[in-house]
Amino acid sequence: MNKRMLLTFVLCAGVMIGFELIIFSPQRAAQQKKLKAQKQAKAEKEAQAAADAKKAKLEAAKKPDEKDPKKKDPDKTEKDPAKVGNDPKKDEKPVVEDVNKGIKINEAIEVTTAKFNAVFSTEGASLRRLTFNDIDQNDRQAKLTILHDYQKYVNGLAMTLTGDKIKLDQVHWNYEKSDGQLTFWRDLGNKHRLEKIIEYTDNFHFNVKLRFINDGKEVWNPEYSLNGPAGMLEEYTARAEELQGVVVKKDPQGALLFDNVGVSDVREAQNFKRDFPTGTGDLKTQIMYIGLNTKYFASLLMPVGEATNEKVNVARLKSMVIEDPAVIESMVEASGKLPRPSEDPVNQMIAQILSYGFEVPASGQVEHTYMFFCGPKSTELVYTKPYEDHGLYKLRDYGFGFFATPARVLASLLGFFHNLIGNYGIAILILTLLVKALLHPLTRKSQTSMHMMQKLAPEIQKIKDKYEGKTSQEAKQKMTMETMGLYSKYGVNPVAGCLPIFIQMPLFFALYNVLNYTYELRHAKFFSWIDDLSQADYLFELPFTSPFHGTNVFSVLPIVMLFLYIANQRMTPKSTDPKQAETQKIMKFMLPMFAFLFYTVPSGLLLYFITSMSVGIGEQFYIKRMLKNMELKPASKKKGGALAAMKEAVNKQNNANKKKKKGKKGKK
């Protein structure tokens, strides 16, 4: 059996290495070569364009400035709002041509707040780019840009009106920048005017007000679609999760309903679109927010106030395919991801809110208010007002069902220890020691049970030998009864060794979620070379790149964990149960695989594993010394207990079988 298992692992490893060397490595090399060629071509193209522009400028300076009356002034053409965003082939002019003359075009309106630097544009009155002031990229070479101007005419906070001849997300708007706010406006004709007011705050959001002004004598019934985040940067992190579109609604009873769409779902469908309607009547829900979500950050659009929520009808997630090589290249550089071919399209998503069914009275106005949030999913932030009121804590990934409750408790304890000590690495050590201390009674009981089972092994073997070759049901039942009697006599529970595993599993998954998804561990230093607990530890660079992990860094913690795991397995008492013994043999062959799979795991998580196994080795050493001189003694008689219940169940089954046999004899 050992030879077969060893051969299986060797063959699996051979297949993986073969795939890497024959298929993946050549593809990666070709991609990197292609990307390098594209960068070089781009640089040459830019240099040629600069040279041509310089040459044209010199030629223009030599010629007299002649005005051709038939020739259009390019400056006027650029600033003519009637032409911007419309099809030049059409002669039809929009009704707003006369009322929006003289728009000042500015595609780089910078707004700096306490938390981030944002770039807005008059084109679509939209948000083009957003960069945090105090949050670095993973490589710490620059501040993190979380929102990009991914695609022309597809930007955050852009909006459209149903049935309007002019595409408001493509034309330029008037604007005015003042202390504390940025105001865009556009006259729509028919005495209708639309204002979009961006109010700055000292927190991780803007207040966005849409003001519909009706100076006419008839009621106006506008319907609009407002973009939330239009694409979001997927930051490269260890064990990164894919980009998600998220929607949270509140039902009539006040419960928050969470729904999400992964970017993988978008890749599998062309022109992907999913609507989340609010419903009607007694079943009407309230949109709390819609947006995009990554491992550590979120960007959301949140309706504010009952007046706005009453008029929000649908939250929508749509696909967006980015094909511009220059944009893709800038995304790769900003995220720190490995090079990829720039001609491959990138799938992204747009979050939108649709509103209809409201009226703007004659000579009146209506205002809808939103919060545009973009920030980290830190514990402190999501439980701070006004974010807590909108349920941003639902974005914290603590697992599902039963695993979520212990994860929240452990996350609170981790934060408490950090506030006490000021180092998340030490906080993880203390939290691990606390968990091991709580589980020690169960571990000791499990080890004691396994030790006693080893002592009873000769007696159990005698019972098996006694009934060897007897295949009748009655013989099997007698053997079971004698075995259970032996366990009961010495107070040994055969299933006690498995009990700690079942209890530890929820805690294990809870700790995994806490240490893998806690934003506070991002860029959190422990000591020496472990300067980011959210990433794999990095001691030095290797002269080659690992074909399986795509990295050339040497990590120490996975190797330390491997040696501790080997030591832990060797100290574990050998089971007398053939099935459990076979499992232990399999685990020995799995040891190298664990080091391989955990090589890129965040160092904070590995710190937990290493501490837990180190304590476990000391724990086993202590328990072994305690049990060394323990002899088998008949246990004191106790009523009840698991063994008594099992024995009673076996007796009942035997009595039932005897009654059946007597019944059959009586019929004969």
Q: What is the DSSP string of 14-41?
A: HHHHHHIIIIIHHHHHHHHHHHHHHHHH
Query: Considering the chain, what is the average pLDDT of its residues?
Result: 76
Q: What is the DSSP string of 69-107?
A: TTSPPHHHHHH-TTTTTS-TT-----TTTTTTTT----S
Can you give 276-290 as a three-state secondary structure string?
EECCCHHHCCEEEEE
Determine what percent of the chain is predicted with pLDDT higher than 90: 23
Question: Strand (E) positions, 139-180?
Answer: 143-147, 159-161, 174-178
With the C-alpha atoms ordered 20, 21, 23, 24, is the resulting torsion angle positive or negative?
positive
Cα separation, 117 vs 122, whole angstroms: 17
Assign 89 a pLDDT band (cuts: 50, 70, 90): very low
Structure confidence at residue 217 (pLDDT): 92
Residue 377 three-state SS:
coil
Angstrom CA distances, 203 to 112, 207, 443, 609, stand at 12, 10, 47, 37
Look at 19-33, 73-87, 240-254 and tell me which has the smallest mean pLDDT. 73-87
Question: pLDDT digits over 435-485, tens only?
Answer: 888 888 888 877 777 777 777 778 888 888 888 877 777 777 788 888 888
Instruction: Retrieve residue 589's tokens.
Output: 């062959």
pLDDT class of 65 with cuts at 50, 70, 90: very low
The pLDDT, as a whole number, for residue 480 is 81
Return the pLDDT at 71.
Answer: 42
pLDDT band at 215 (very low <50, low <70, confident <90, very high): very high
Judged against a pLDDT cut of 50, whether residue 302 lies above it is answered with: yes
**Gap between the Cα atoms of 185 and 193, Å rounded:** 7
Specify whether the CB–CB gap between 526 and 424 falls below 8 A: yes
Q: Are 264 and 242 in contact (CB under 8 A)?
A: yes
Q: Which tens digit of pLDDT belongs to each residue from 261-285?
A: 887 776 666 678 889 998 877 778 8
| Per-residue pLDDT band at 505 (split at 50, 70, 90) | confident
**Range with the largest mean pLDDT of 94-108, 326-340, 374-388:** 374-388
Residue 66 pLDDT grade (very low, low, confident, very high; cuts 50, 70, 90): very low
Q: Say if residue 355 is exposed, middle or buried (CB neighbours under 10 Å; 0-12, 13-18, 19+).
A: buried
- Comparing CA positions, the residue from 12, 173, 30 lying closest to residue 96 is 173
Q: Is the pLDDT of residue 542 over 80?
A: no
